Amino acid sequence: MKHLQAINQKAARIERYVEHDVVALSGRPAGYQAPQQPDGPHIPLGCSLVFSPGWEVDRTGGTAGLCQPVERDLFDCHLGCFWPAHVPDQLNNTPDWTKNCATAQKDWRKLDLIFP
């Protein structure tokens, strides 16, 4: 890297990663074969952040990772997505609705009903 200088040890590791892995891979020489890498955890993209339902397929082309009732009907469906869901109006009336929900994958049970 030219414009950023790695100062601490972590930065040096990131720099090595960027220069050797990412940059080297993007300019693949002829006959280059990608190193075998284990698949990452299955995290559907798009709807993906598991909580924006409504996409047709997940990143593997399947439907298993797409929105399911209840636990996946939480975020985004009231904002950017067509999927109908009964979630509180977080923009105006209940901005703190997800206050206790740090990681929606795990904490969705903490989301409660809203009583006017």
Partner 1 sequence: MTMRTEVALAAREYHGFEAAGRRFLYMVPSAAVFGLDDTAEAVLDGLAGGKMSAAEIAVGLAGRFAEDEVLASVNELMHVHAIGEADVLQEPMAQQMPPTPFPLTTMVLNVTNQCNLSCGYCYEYGDDKIVDTENGKQSKFMSQETARQSVEFMLEESQDIETVHLTFFGGETLMNFPVLQETVAYARRRAAEMGKGIEFSLTTNATLLRPDIIEWLADNDIGVTVSIDGPKEMQDEFRVFKGGGGTYDVVVPKVRALLRRHRSRPIAARVTLTRQVLDVQRIYRHLTEEIGFWEVGFAPVTTSWTRDYAIGDKGFDTMLGQFNELAEDFLAAALENRHHGFSNVKDTIEEIHKGVSKAYPCGAGLGLRGVSTDGDVALCHRFAGSDEHKLGTVRDGVDHSLQQKFLEEHHLAHKTDCQTCWARPLCSGGCYHEAYTRYGSTTAPNLHYCEWIRSWTDTCLRIYGELAARNPDYLTIFDG
Note the residues at the interface with partner 1 (CB under 8 A). Answer: 1-11, 13-14, 18, 22, 26, 43, 49, 99-107
Q: Report the nearest approach of partner 1 to the CB of residue 32 (Å).
A: 17
Structure tokens at 66: 């797409």
Whether residue 73 lies in the annotated active site? yes
Catalytic residue among 21, 39, 58, 73: 73
Q: Report the nearest approach of partner 1 to the CB of residue 81 (Å).
A: 13
Q: Report the nearest approach of partner 1 to the CB of residue 114 (Å).
A: 18
Q: Cβ of 111: how many Cβ atoms within 10 Å?
A: 18
Q: How far apart are CA 76 and CA 53, in angstroms?
A: 8
Residues 6+ apart with CB under 8 A from 81: 47, 52, 53, 54
Closer Cβ to partner 1, 50 or 66, answer by number? 50
Which positions are annotated as active-site residues? 73
